[in-house]
Amino acid sequence: MDLDFGIFILMQQRDQRKTAEQIIQEAVEQTQMADRSGFAAAWYAEHHFSNYGLCPSPLMMAAHCAGVTQQIRVGSAVVVAPLYTPARLIAEIAMADQLSKGRLNVGIGGGYQQFEFERFGISLDNAKEKTLEMLDMIELGLTQKKFSYDGAHYQQPITAINVRAKQQPLPPVWIASGDPMLMRRALRSDYHVFISGGLGGTKRLGGFRGVIDDLCVAEGKDPAKAKVAMLRFAYASDNKAEVEHYVDCARYQQRIAVSLKTRRESVEDDYLVAEQPYDEELPFEKLMKNLPVGPVDTVIERLLGDIRAVRPVHVALQTQVGDFDHGLMLKQLQLWNKVIIPTIQQELARDKAAASARTTEAAS
């Protein structure tokens, strides 16, 4: 399976002087640049009630960005399924797919921030089980003329979704989770499994791939055919200060995520989550070595190592992170298009040719 690249936009508000309007517009501009630069997809996260992410509706963001781009696919990474009413989510997926003219990717996840869930009056305890039921309902609602559902968490009387998705039988589904049960559900239906390297290195990513391969075997699936996507912090520059600030922004993102996940968040001015180190935090120097950051050759070498370990069909780069400069990131996307992605594709083509030659030699 061929590899393509996308961008992942979290829409963080680390710089409190920057307005929500500015952050949203920068996300749109990054999507437009990625479109012009030939990236395959743009992804929008869903978060609520804090400055960790200012996009409460990734489907709305995807529909808008589809209207101001030409060919890039737009997607949710992710829709936090338990926060939705199932029938409404199904209809909105179909509507977004129509508005995007069939360019929608549907990323689904169970969520992890109790801070968000409790403000919706929803328990995080059964989020995984609800997500599994929601996946069943999305499939039924988009592939059947009418459907009903009687689950442990959701019940739906006979219902017809009156807007049908443009992509048939349904838009591509991507499940973002490190939970084995949700990953097995993705593999069972030949959906994409979206994993994140976080601030770890190639060894951590390779461990995730090993888990996925084992789950494939358990599901009676060929691991070589698993559609795995990888989310990665990556930035190429000879300017050490730029690179260090990007990594600092990556660390900032992780610090806020951990504080929200572990319920240690300190919130100021209603929704601003304070940055604070966490117990398992790696030294900054280790982060600089773990991530594909630094000069172009270093980024290519490290990312190739990640790709060879994970064997993904898609790599999404984190672009709008922390308070990293928007102008620099637009230039970065052009650099990836002109230099980094072509070089990586060439190296992977050489890998493929060498593997094919070895197979032919062994058979002769």
Rounded to an integer, the average pLDDT of 96-102 is: 98
The per-residue pLDDT for 362 is 82
The per-residue pLDDT for 196 is 95
Residues 326-357: pLDDT tens digits?
Answer: 999 999 999 999 999 999 999 999 999 998 88
Count of domains in the chain? 1
Share of the chain above pLDDT 90, in %: 95
Q: How is 308-342 classified by DSSP, letter by letter?
A: HHH--SEEEEEEE-TT--HHHHHHHHHHIIIIIHH
CA distance 103 to 105: 7
Helix (H/G/I), strand (E/B), else coil: 256: helix
Angle formed at CA 117 by CA 113 and CA 122, multiple of 5 degrees: 145
Residue 358 confidence (pLDDT) above 90:
no
Report CA-CA distances (Å) from 187 to 168, 175, 219, 278, 313: 19, 9, 7, 33, 14
The answer to whether residues 334 and 33 touch, using CB atoms and an 8 Å cutoff, is yes
Helix (H/G/I), strand (E/B), else coil: 134: helix
Q: Which domain holds residue 181?
A: 4-363
Residues 38-91: pLDDT tens digits?
Answer: 999 999 999 999 999 999 999 999 999 999 999 999 999 999 999 999 999 999
For residues 267 and 334, the model is more confident at 334
CA distance 98 to 93: 9
Residue 1 confidence (pLDDT) above 80:
no
Residue 118 confidence (pLDDT) above 80:
yes
Question: 235-236 and 173-176 as β-strands: parallel, antiparallel, unpaired?
Answer: unpaired
The per-residue pLDDT for 361 is 81
Residues 176-191: pLDDT tens digits?
Answer: 999 999 999 999 999 9
Rounded to an integer, the average pLDDT of 236-255 is: 98
The per-residue pLDDT for 330 is 98
Backbone angles phi, psi at 317, to 5 degrees: -100, 135
CATH of the domain at 236: 3.20.20.30
Helix (H/G/I), strand (E/B), else coil: 247: helix
CA distance 145 to 232: 39
For residues 161 and 2, the model is more confident at 161
Assign 278 a pLDDT band (cuts: 50, 70, 90).
very high
